[in-house]
Amino acid sequence: MNARNPNTSLVTALRSRFEAEAALTDQWLRERGWDPADDNTALNWVEAFADRTTEVVGRRDAEAVRAHTNFIAAAYRTEPEALRTIVDVSYSENLMWDSSTEDKRWAWMLIAPEIRQFFTEMWGDPTIDND
């Protein structure tokens, strides 16, 4: 991670590792008037990338769910204080925002533990009935 701006470094790493998802994320940002290359959009970029993970949850692509969440969790473990906001608020809180309960339950154990923890803090554990 780049000591100057860990958030930007995370985006750069995600772009390199997940090129197709990055292109879709860039397109989403451009459609909303943001410049995806601007360092100031890193939080928005990762929030939009959470939508890419939500999409693979909907397609029931276990390998992609693991790849996305494990990659972000690994980055978080290298700089937990510097990356907490972008991983917690931008990614985890937006992850599976419009997924069905069934899809969330299917994906739950595929998601990296750090991401599950942040998600649970915001939304609760989707495997537990809270009725």
Report the candidate in 73, 78, 81, 86 with the shortest Cα–Cα distance to residue 45: 86
Q: Domain count of the chain? A: 1
26 lies in some domain: yes
131 lies in some domain: no
14 lies in some domain: yes
Angle at 30 (CA atoms; ends 28, 33), nearest 5 degrees: 120
pLDDT at position 129 is 80
pLDDT at position 130 is 64
Name the residue range of residue 53's domain. Answer: 6-123
Instruction: List alpha helices for 1-131, DSSP H.
Output: 6-17, 19-31, 42-58, 62-78, 80-85, 101-107, 113-123
For 51-94, the pLDDT digits (tens) are: 999 999 999 999 999 999 999 999 999 999 999 999 999 999 99
1 lies in some domain: no
69 lies in some domain: yes
129 lies in some domain: no
46 lies in some domain: yes
50 lies in some domain: yes
For 86-113, the pLDDT digits (tens) are: 999 999 999 999 999 999 999 999 999 9
Q: Report how far residue 27's alpha carbon sits from residue 117's, in angstroms, rounded to the nearest whole number.
A: 29
